Amino acid sequence: MELTVVHGDITRQQVDAVVNAANRAMRGGGGVDGAIHAAGGPEVLADCVRRFPDGLSTGDAGWTTAGEMRARWVIHVVGPNHRAGETDRALLVSCYARALAVADELGAGSVAFPLVSAGIYGWPKDDAVAVAVETLRASPTQVEEARLVAYDAVTYEAIRQRLAR
């Protein structure tokens, strides 16, 4: 699998699936979650309600339509909320591994990932980058391209440097 980083907007990526850093309720929110729901339109929320009436557990993943986005699917993952005391690194690792497993089930060849839990959930950025790169490199998958999408230049540079190791 090719693992790359781009500086940009995850909702505008031309990939088979985009990964959403969702909350447990699966009803939209802020940050990446809000951007994906806004870009995808009401179909994304309607599919979340239909497919996940009770939401998703932390560390788990599931898919919906991508609605009006270029991607075909959204793979929703629920990252651990570090600020709320969810500090088990295995939950963050699980987000990336489960997202790849769901992508394999869907037959997605290309997937765009945000840096899960590193925003409002407060996971330390250096470790969030390490988990993303290590897990995506180590997980068996049929995905041909995993793309880490950094919204800001500082995050882009941190991921770029980690990929160069």
Q: Which residues are catalytic?
A: 33
Count of alpha carbons within 13 angstroms of residue 12, beta-carbon side? 6
C-alpha to C-alpha distances, 113 to 54, 67, 85, 129, 148, nearest whole angstrom: 24, 17, 24, 11, 5
The structure tokens listed for 43 are 């179909």
